[in-house]
C-alpha cells in the first residue's frame, strides 16, 4: 500500500519478492515498479461514494428492502455489500426481516481497493 501525506508522491524502484507454489516445488518471483502521482490524484483515483437509502423506520416483523446509491469518479465501483450489526450479509442480499433495531452499513469498494461505508440505524415499531 502506498500512502501520501502531501498532494503528490513518487515511489521509485519498489521491489516485491516472494516465493510461490509451482507444481511440486516453489518459484521465486520479483516484481519491480515505479509509481508516480503528479498531484492531481490521477494515479490513485478517487474513492467511491455510497449513500444508504434504506428506510430508517418501519413495522416490526416485516421485510425491509436494502437500498443504496453509488457513484465512482473513476467508474470502477463494485456492487454494494451489506453489514448488519457488524455481520457481513451474503452477496446479492437485497432485503432483510426487521424484528428490532439494527445498525445497517452499505459498503462499496472500487477496482483500486478504496472502500466507502454508509451507516444508518434502522428501527421498527
Report d(CA 2, CA 109) in Å as an integer: 17
Report d(CA 91, CA 111) in Å as an integer: 17
Residue 89: the pLDDT is: 96
Structural domain including 13 reads 1-44
The answer on 68 and 28 residing in a single domain is no
Return the residue matching grid coordinates 424484528.
99
The answer on 38 and 87 residing in a single domain is no
- pTM value is 0.66
- Which residue, 56, 65, 40, is CA-closest to 125? 56
The answer on 114 and 92 residing in a single domain is yes
The answer on 64 and 77 residing in a single domain is yes
The answer on 72 and 39 residing in a single domain is no
* C-alpha dihedral, 82 to 84 to 90 to 91, nearest 10°: 0
Query: Which range (12-16, 17-21, 58-62, 68-72) has the least confidence?
Result: 12-16
Q: Please give the tally of structural domains in the chain.
A: 2
- Say yes or no to pLDDT of 4 above 90: no
Amino acid at each position: 500500500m502506498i500512502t501520501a501525506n502531501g498532494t503528490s508522491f513518487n515511489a521509485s524502484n519498489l521491489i516485491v519478492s516472494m516465493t510461490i507454489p509451482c507444481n511440486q516445488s516453489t518459484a521465486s518471483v520479483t516484481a519491480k515498479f515505479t509509481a508516480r502521482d503528479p498531484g492531481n490524484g490521477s494515479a490513485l483515483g478517487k474513492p467511491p461514494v455510497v449513500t444508504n437509502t434504506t428506510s430508517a423506520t418501519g413495522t416490526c416483523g416485516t421485510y425491509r428492502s436494502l437500498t443504496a446509491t453509488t457513484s465512482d469518479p473513476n467508474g470502477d465501483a463494485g456492487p454494494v455489500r451489506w453489514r448488519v450489526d457488524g455481520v457481513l450479509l451474503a452477496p446479492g442480499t437485497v432485503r432483510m426481516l426487521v424484528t428490532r433495531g439494527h445498525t445497517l452499513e452499505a459498503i462499496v469498494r472500487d477496482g483500486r481497493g478504496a472502500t466507502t461505508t454508509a451507516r444508518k440505524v434502522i428501527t421498527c415499531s
